[in-house]
Amino acid sequence: MTSRTNQRTQLGAAAILSVSEAVELLPWSDQRSRLWLHDKGLIIRRADAPGPCVVWGHVVEALTEPDPAPVQRLERAGLW
């Protein structure tokens, strides 16, 4: 396992990470990761955090959600 994979799996669901820390652990480019976090509404502000952050458990949940796009494509094609 890579170091990044180890970090992802060792974090608890309640871990609070800065956006930069979370971006480093996601499998995409920094820009795509930041956009994904934003689009999913995962970036939050907390009074006890110095800047924008994410709850790692929410990130993991979002990563495991099924992608509705394949079903939508099948519906458009009249196959669903």
Q: Where are the beta strands (DSSP E) in the chain?
A: 16-18, 53-55
Q: How many contiguous H segments (helices) and E segments (strands) does the chain have?
A: 5, 2
Task: Check residue 43 and report its DSSP letter.
Answer: -
The helix or strand, by DSSP H or E, that contains position 5, with its residue range, turns out to be helix 3-10
Instruction: Say what the pTM is.
Output: 0.76
pLDDT for 35 equals 95
Instruction: Provide the residue ranges of all domains of the chain, joining segments of one domain with +.
Output: 3-76
Q: What is the pLDDT of residues 51-69, one digit of tens each?
A: 999 999 999 999 988 766 6
Contact call for residues 10 and 56 (beta carbons, < 8 A): no
The answer to whether residue 73 scores a pLDDT higher than 80 is: no
> Residues 10-60: pLDDT tens digits?
888 999 999 999 999 999 999 999 999 999 999 999 999 999 999 999 999
